[in-house]
Amino acid sequence: MLYFVILIFRDLMSITIRPINTLPEYHAVEDLQREIWGAADVEIMPHDLMLTAHKNGGLVLGAFSDEEGSERLVGFVFGFVGLQPDGRIKHCSHVAGVAADYRDRNVGYRLKAAQREYVLAQGIDLITWTFDPLESRNARFNFHKLGATCRTLYPNLYGEMRDALNAGLPSDRFQVDWRIAGSRVERHMRGEAPEPRPAEMMAAGVPLIDPSQIHDASQIPESERMLVEIPANFQRVKTEDRELAARWRMGVRTCFETLFARGLTAADLLVEQGRCFYIVEQYAQED
């Protein structure tokens, strides 16, 4: 049996990251899912599924805040063991979230750092998860802060979703690859990754794609490196202009299906003057 003790991460706000251990803590994870996503019971990960996965090689981590001597669950991450297409083992990180009043406090980063340590101790070097490629905050976190990359887009992966954040549009998702033993991930997690300026890249001739104006693959230029813009706040676009949101969704799908088929990789998410850009390029993926 694998013997591993999760590192306990603490900060000045008395946040502790540790495995979920008791039934009341598993029920607190259920409640936090409802709070974060406005999800009905049919949409949440139930405690019995998470507990079973955790006892069989998976992981459920919680972020706990010490509020006046009483613990409160303010974030979590849940994943399980899976297989790559070639049969090698990976860790599937299925769902993670942080309570609204604890966002932008590095809680999500510490949850992923603890998850990485646990999975590395199992002898596994790849974690994958899916997310909406139009959610710029998540993209910035996944690509730039953690060092993940992506070569896979699943159109309408989950079908029509019923939670408050995702209802009404196709559930297209990136699957990101987080190669947790590699030097790229180490650089990004230490904050040492380079960050090119999109304006300088465009001035040097790197093409820019606006997916909201893309209707078919013939509009996508041939290049070994390009920028693909996404909205800074897709939730606001969805609220204010549903037709524009649908154009973004389908344009991003067309762009990335085409670029991935050409062998390119989404390698980073850059932010400049309030605008958000994926770097998509030829990239030698670390094994």
Say which residue the tokens 């998540």 belong to: 138
Write down the pLDDT at residue 140: 97
Write down the pLDDT at residue 161: 67
- Report how far residue 7's alpha carbon sits from residue 118's, in angstroms, rounded to the nearest whole number: 9
Tokens of 263: 């062998």
What is the per-residue pLDDT across 25-80, written as a single tens digit (0 to 9) for each? Answer: 999 999 999 999 887 776 789 999 999 999 999 999 999 998 777 889 999 999 99
pTM value surpassing 0.75: yes
Q: Where does residue 198 rank: exposed (0-12), middle (13-18), buried (19+ CB within 10 A)?
A: buried
Residue 217 CB coordination number (10 Å): 13
What is the per-residue pLDDT across 127-177, written as a single tens digit (0 to 9) for each? Answer: 999 999 999 999 999 999 999 999 999 999 988 766 666 667 899 999 999
Q: Where are the beta strands (DSSP E) in the chain?
A: 15-19, 59-67, 70-83, 89-98, 126-131, 149-154, 173-179, 208-209, 225-230, 265-272, 275-281
Tokens of 15: 């946040």
Asked if residue 80 lies in contact with residue 127, where contact means CB atoms within 8 angstroms, the answer is no
Which residues are within 8 A (CB) of 208 and not within 5 positions of it... i.e. 6 or more apart? 198, 202, 226, 227, 228, 229, 277
Which residues are within 8 A (CB) of 190 and not within 5 positions of it... i.e. 6 or more apart? none
Residue 179 pLDDT greater than 70, yes or no? yes
What is the per-residue pLDDT across 2-21, written as a single tens digit (0 to 9) for each? Answer: 434 444 444 445 899 999 99
pLDDT band, residue 285 (cuts 50/70/90): low
**Helix, strand, or coil (residue 47):** helix
